Every structure is written in C-alpha cells, then in structure tokens.
Structure 1
Amino acid sequence: MKIAVLTMTFNNNYGGYLQSYALIETLKKLGHEPMLLFVQSNDLSLKTKFKKYLKRYFLSYVTTRWKNERFKNIIEKNTKYFVDRYIIPKTDPIYSFDDFKKYGDKFDAYIVGSDQVWRPTMYKYIDRAFFDFVINPKAILLSYAPSFGLDKWEFTPEQTSKFKKQIKRFKAVSVRENSGVLLCKNNFGINVQHVLDPTMLLEKDDYDKIIKQENESDFNGELLSYILDETHDKKYLEELIVSTLGLKPYSINVKSKDPNEDIEKQIYPTVTSWLKGFDNAKYVVTDSFHGCVFSIIFNKPFIVYGNKSRGMARFNSILKIFGLEDRLVLNKSDINIEKIQSQIDWKKINLILNKYKVRSKNFLIDNLQ
C-alpha cells in the first residue's frame, strides 16, 4: 500500500527526525511503501517571496536571504544529512496549500503523526493535519500517535467544529498521550487508541545499526546531559548526580544557539551521534520527552526534569505507561540522593514495552488493509 506520512516540520528537533524515521521504517517492515510529505517551515516558496518583494525590497531581500540560507545550510548540514540519507523516500518540498493539493489523490492511505502535529500553537499547517487536502474518497485516513502537547484543549470553537467533521473521515484514530484519549472523547466525541511514540516501535538494534553505519565515536564521559532549557535548578540536579555517582558529564546538544557566536559552535551534531550519546551513557539527566523515550529504549537509568513550558502531558503519559513516575522532578525540592540512586527494573520495563509495541503495531496492521 502506498502511504503518505504527514508530521511536524523538523527544525533541528532530534526527536522529530527520529520519530519520522521510525514510523517510515516500521511501515516498510510491514510491507508498505511509505513516503514523507516533506513539509517546510517557510510559509511561501522562495520563488513566491521573490516575486512579492521584487519591486520594493530587491537588494536588501536578496542579500539577507542569501546570508540566512548560507548560514542555515552550514548550521543544519549534519541534520540535513540524516534527512537526505535516512528519511526516504520523500516528496518534493511542500511550502503551500497548493503544494499539498498535488498529493491529494496519489496515495492509498494517509497517516498523520507523530509529535505535536495536533497542537495548533506548534503546527501552523493544522488544517492539513486533518487531511483537508485529500480528495481520494477511497483513501484510508489514520492518525498514528499525534500529540496535543497539553492536557487542555487549545483549538478554537471554529477549529473544533471543522476538525470534528473532518475526523469522521478517518478510519481510525490513535494518540500518543493518555490525556489525548480524553481530549478526543470530550471534544470530537470519538473513541481513540493510546499508542507508543513511533521511536519505540523499532528495536534498540535498529538504532545501533545506523550508529555503526556512521562510525560514530564514543563520548568522553558517563553522564549524558541532554537539557533543552537550561536553569540553575537543572544544573544543580546534574551536579548532584555527578557528586553522588561519580560520573563525568557530557552533552549531545548544539554548543550554542546564539547567532552572534562562532558559526562552528552553532552546527547541530549528527543525529546518529545524538543516539550514540544514549548508547554510551551510564546515566541520563534530561528535560526532553524524547530524552525520556531513548533512555527507556537504551535501558539507561535517568532523571527527567519536567519541562512545563513545553507541556507536561507528554512526560506524565510516558512515565505512567512504564510505572516510572518517580523519575520525574518538577522543582528543586523534588531533587534528592535517594531518587538519584533508586534502581530501575529493566526486565519489567522491557516486558511493558514489548506489550505496548505489539498493541501499537497492531493498530497499523489492522487499519492498513
């Protein structure tokens, strides 16, 4: 079956790259022919923008655009490599609704997900995420693990009314968080299934394989620190883990997001080196949802500092599945040595993972026929 996959624009988000890769690879393993709808973050194509500003802003626009694109290509060279080599096949870049319409009748099935593709404040193509561009009446429409990001409803009344009608075209709906099950029930009036993030559908060996293919080097340390939003309390947590367990910290983050810094410091590490960071770790400290996910996949003990600004529903849901709520801290008063030293029963965790993996894959198998 030819399947179109619609997900978030990447924007140097490692979890975003890997969930897209994982869903496409899973569909291939199930015998399908998936293709990523390669949506770009730009509202308009360069050609359209050029025409729009040609008369008034010609010189300044072209100069600025050239500089921005040049730096962007350098900064994103490693992540772009992963997209080019591993997230395949893809459509031509999609910039507009007209571009979406080109693919409205070219596939047997359309899947939206995963990540926060159903969070209107995070995804500007929200109408497309309910397949308003699909005109093939025989096409199967599915959602696989989209996230609302929060446990509250962010859609306007107008959006709710519109999407409630559109979602009735779906053969089946699944969501990534348990809170999303209730949101769909209360606002769309439908029953949906709770499934795993796509990254958890693959085996650890699948990730080891691409790490080895890229010949990634080992990190010099044992404590992986993957922090998206630095704070004094998160630094305190890292330092307490270092002093308690005697581990040397290392980071897999981009060194700087400051545009005034040396451009070499702004280059994002490769996606496979990001994975290698989890493989090498003896312990992980993170404030990232996918930091939690890959700690579980690689069976690494971890502490997660709840990232309230990015949405807590994601953390609460994944930790509840595995009975790992005690790995979460929300403020400095939650941080203590006992929590850091507490053990994780990985045999139990892996049994839960395998059970949910079968259930999640069956959602795809049962509905893609």
Structure 2
Amino acid sequence: MKIGILTYHCTTNYGATLQAYALLTAIKLQGWKDVEIINYQPLAMLRVFFIRPVQPINKKLQINTQLFVNLRKCLNMRRFVLDNLRLSQKKYYTKASLKKHCQHYDVVICGSDQIWRIDPIEGFGSEFFLDFVYKKTARQKISYAASFGDTDTLKNHQESIINLLKSFDTILVRDANSVKIVQKECKLPAVKVVDPTFLINYDAITVLPKLKEKYLLLYNQKYFTNLEEDFIKSIAKNKNLVIVSVGQVNKIANVNIVEADPKKWLGYFKFSTYIVTNTYHGTIFSIIFKKQFTVVLNENKSNKIGDLLKDYNLEDRICATQLKTPNFEHIVDIDYNKVEEKLQLAVAHSKNYLFAALKNRENLGNISEGS
C-alpha cells in the first residue's frame, strides 16, 4: 500500500518541519514502509522560504543584519528535510501538476498544521483539501490533525469546502475550533486528535547543546514587548539562568542560536531548565520534554494554544499580554504525572483513529485483490 502525505514541509519553521517528520515516522513505525511526503512546493511557499532573510523592520523593508545567519538556517533546515523526510521523487509546483501526475497513491493524507486556514487575501488552498485526488476504487482520503487555524467561519467558501470534505473517508483535526467548523458548518463528522509531534519519541535525532550553564530558553515568532521582556528577565534572575534564544535574535538573550537545525532545536528544548514561548509547537515541545514553562499568549494564537493548554489543565501557564504587572511568583511547578495520564490517553486515541483508517484501506485492498 502506497501512502502519500501532503503538508507543509518546505519551510524554515521548526514546528511545521517536525510535524511532517513526526507523521511520516509514526506511520512507518506502525509497519507501513511505502510512505512519503508529497514534494509539493508551491511558488508562494518558496517565496516565503527564500525571502525570509529579508524581513520588515519597523514597517520598512530592510536587509536583516543577520542575513548570512538566516541563510545558514535555511540551508540547515533544508538539509534536515532531505536527510530525514522521504520525499516523492517528483516535485510539484502547481495544483495542475498535482492533478496531472500525483495519482499513484492508495491513500493520501493531508497532514497537520494550518493547511485549511482561509487567508483573507489568498483565500484557501483547495489542494490541501486533496481536490487533486480522484476517488477511484482503491483510493482513500484522510486528514490527520488538519487545522483551520484562526479561521472561525467559512463564509463564502462554505459550499466549496463542504463538497471537498464530503469526499474524505476520515476527517481528523487538531483543535476544537476545527471540529466546530466541520461539524456545524459542514455537517460532517470530525474527531479531534493530537498534533503528530506528540506521536513519536525524539531521542534518536536530538543533539546535545554545547552550553554548560543552566538556561532559560526563548522560542518566539512575534517579538516580546518590553513588559514581557522584563518578566522573562525576572524569571531568569530568580532561577539564576542565562537566557538562550533559539530560532531568532532576542536582545535580552545572553546567547542567540539562529541557525540551529531541528535536531539542535530539539536539544535546546530537552536540556533547558525553563522555557518561555509564544508559539504552538514551542508549547507542545515544552510538554513533550516535561519542562516548566510559560506561554506569552496573544489573541491571534488563543484558538490553538489555549485549546492545547486546556486539554491538559495547563491554562495557568499563560502570561496574558494584557496584564500590567506579570510576575513569576504565582507560577507553580507543573505536576507532569497528571499531564502524562491525559496525554497518553489522547495519543492512544489519536493513533487508534489514524491507524484504523489506514488498516481499513489495507483490508479493502486485500478484499479487492482476492475477489
């Protein structure tokens, strides 16, 4: 049985890269060896990937002073993908090429991340709803942990998306907002599952950092405010930790590691003493490695991060940006025995749904071959 996964993989985002790696690995570990990432690189995504070193600063387009460091990051991320993700031999740059040449899979899975987000300018990418896959006798469409992101209503895309999702055999999404959209707006069954990064162990690819000091790790996409920076510095001072930033430069960090590949990125998470993040996957890997952490939560991330923290009774890890005087004194250490109990159940539940869908397709194929 040949399985293809369509998701975001050509990117400098650690979470997006690792969720693709995790889904591929989880399926292979279950015994399905003929599985690969469909090497879809739309031009819009490539522009983001290669132009990332040139960033808007203070609303003016300027060359980032970290230009060469960021270029090394791009190369390191790409090397990780080529070395650790099995990609389809053929590259696809357009929806038309997918439709013409990508018809040789028994099962196609649209993987995790915000692949169903409706961008206010670009609309939605119908290819991530697998519109290029022709449903024939031995063909199955599955979504695993797909997300609409901060899209809260389908509006004028509703009819199109309903028709696209009707052709799915199994719809698995990663957050309550996406469940609501599929069930209420599309009137279709959907099950909430964990992000694929929760499905596997990372010991085999994690690289030990060279740092000797104990450190507080920063992983952020949007920059911290002055108030948030003061809060972070107070935690580091109280716990006698140096501040390390991974993925981008933070002015309050003692050490900035911009060009780390995913293996080193995992190492910085695993061996940290404390983590502060404002990202979804930063929160996930804080939980995976059982770290004490704080999430600086802004409104546009409340759907996915807030939903994730609620699942494991970790809402108290949020440092709300609207607080005027956030402080670390109210932070109580996480009891990971309670978290692990819930997480293990959620992971088992998620694996059962995914692997049952794949086994169902495999059984159908065996029946067809024997008839």
What TM-score range do you get, normalising by the shorter chain? 0.7 to 0.9
Once the 2 structures are TM-superposed, how far is the Cα of residue 91 of structure 1 from its aligned partner?
Answer: 3.9
Residues of 2 paired with 1:8 and 1:219: CA distance? Answer: 35
Question: Please, what TM-score do these two structures have when normalized by structure 2?
Answer: 0.82
Once the 2 structures are TM-superposed, how far is the Cα of residue 267 of structure 1 from its aligned partner?
Answer: 6.1
Once the 2 structures are TM-superposed, how far is the Cα of residue 150 of structure 1 from its aligned partner?
Answer: 1.8
Q: Which residue of 2 aligns with 1:242?
A: 236
Within 5 Å, give how 1:337-352 maps onto structure 2: 337-340=328-331, 342-352=332-342
Residues of 2 paired with 1:324 and 1:277: CA distance? Answer: 22
Once the 2 structures are TM-superposed, how far is the Cα of residue 75 of structure 1 from its aligned partner?
Answer: 4.6
Within 5 Å, give how 1:1-369 maps onto structure 2: 1-32=1-32, 33-43=34-44, 74-121=72-119, 126-137=125-136, 138-150=138-150, 152-153=152-153, 155-157=154-156, 159-203=157-201, 207-212=202-207, 217-218=210-211, 220-230=213-223, 231-255=225-249, 268-309=259-300, 311-331=301-321, 332-333=323-324, 335-340=326-331, 342-368=332-358, 369=360
Aligned length: 329
Q: 1:232 to 1:93 in 2, by over 3 A?
A: farther
Give the match's secondary structure for 2:12: coil
Alignment RMSD, CA only?
A: 2.5
* Structure holding more strand per residue: 2
Residue-by-residue CA offset, 1:11-38 (whole Å, 9 max, x unaligned) = 2100000000000000101222211112
Give the match's secondary structure for 1:319: helix
Residues of 2 paired with 1:294 and 1:314: CA distance? Answer: 14
Give the match's secondary structure for 1:143: strand
Query: Which amino acid letter does the alignment assign opposite residue 342 of structure 2?
Result: I
Residue-by-residue CA offset, 1:41-94 (whole Å, 9 max, x unaligned) = 415999xxxxxxxxxxxxxxxxxxxxxxx9986451110111011111334322
Contact map agreement 1:219 1:250 (CA 8 A) in 2 = no
Query: Which amino acid letter does the alignment assign opposite residue 145 of structure 2?
Result: A
* Structure holding more helix per residue: 1
Q: Which residue of 2 aligns with 1:56?
A: none
Residues of 2 paired with 1:305 and 1:242: CA distance? Answer: 15
The unaligned stretches of length 5 or more in structure 1 are: 47-69, 257-264
Residue-by-residue CA offset, 1:153-202 (whole Å, 9 max, x unaligned) = 2x341x21112012111111011111211111111111210100000001
Q: 1:292 to 1:189 in 2, by over 3 A?
A: same
Contact map agreement 2:10 2:45 (CA 8 A) in 1 = no
Query: Which amino acid letter does the alignment assign opposite residue 208 of structure 1?
Result: D
The unaligned stretches of length 5 or more in structure 2 are: 48-67, 251-255, 361-371
Residues of 2 paired with 1:216 and 1:45: CA distance? Answer: 30
Query: Which amino acid letter does the alignment assign opposite residue 314 of structure 1?
Result: K
Q: Give percent identity, aligned residues only.
A: 29
